[in-house]
Amino acid sequence: MEFFLDTANLDEIRKAQAQGLMDGVTTNPTLLSREGGDWRRQAQTICNEVDGPVSLEVVGTTAEEMVREAEDLATFGDNVVIKVPITSEGLIATKALYKKGVKTNVTLVFSPLQALLAAKAGATYVSPFVGRLDGISIDGMELISQIRTIFDNYEFPAKILVASIRNPLHVLDSALIGADVATIPFSVISDLAKHPLTDKGLEQFNADWEKLTK
């Protein structure tokens, strides 16, 4: 299972990359706007520094606009993946980009049928948003199980990229279900290795070692 970092923040990217925990990055317009400044410069630096796929999102509403934007975004680097919303126009754009050999990440997926359509259109990644579903009392992880079943039934090559992750349990459940990728906020990725019994055990080992060697 791959871990992507869900951020446009360079400090977070550099820290996660140094820890060897990051296989790629996903951004979106909100994450880039949080960083402020020149978004092109920010996106270019991210693409240069990240050793792995970087998702950059189109904002156009017609397929034509999306494909045009994708051509521009693709100039940021060979690792760019074009993030396209799951709309009718987005599906047309996804198919057109697939035919050109451009990798896509179909985003804002909230139902198994949307995921099926994205896979049929040739999406490289399909991004179901689990946290936002949980937020309206719909089980986000159930959606991941349903998509896993559909993709396996028909051997779709599209990768399930679990998005809108809020906590380590989302990551664990994604792994148990067999999702291909989880895109994780930095705060959650930092919590994955933590366990109170690890801290307690380490404290005990250190105290005992000190007694032995004093």
CA distance 193 to 206: 19
Burial of 39 (0-12, 13-18, 19+ CB in 10 A): middle
Greatest CA separation for the chain: 73
Q: Which is nearer to ligand E4P, 165 or 205 (CB)?
A: 165
Q: Which is nearer to ligand E4P, 174 or 183 (CB)?
A: 183
DSSP 68-96: HHHHHHGGG-TTEEEEEESSHHHHHHHHH
Q: Whole-number minimum distance, CB 88 to ligand E4P, in Å?
A: 21
Q: Whole-number minimum distance, CB 198 to ligand E4P, in Å?
A: 28
Q: Which is nearer to ligand E4P, 94 or 200 (CB)?
A: 94
Query: Which residue in the block uniquely carries the two structure tokens 């706007």?
Result: 33
* CB-CB contact of 25 with 48 (8 Å): no
| Alpha-carbon separation of residue 207 from 71, 187, 194, 212 (angstroms) | 59, 30, 20, 9
Size (the chain), residues: 214
Catalytic residue, chosen from 15, 83, 194, 211, is 83
Q: Which is nearer to ligand E4P, 107 or 116 (CB)?
A: 107
Q: Whole-number minimum distance, CB 129 to ligand E4P, in Å?
A: 6
Q: Is 83 a catalytic residue?
A: yes
Q: Whole-number minimum distance, CB 90 to ligand E4P, in Å?
A: 14
Q: What residue ranges bind ligand E4P (CB under 6 A)?
A: 6, 26, 28, 107, 127, 129, 131-132, 163-164, 183
Q: Which residues are catalytic?
A: 83
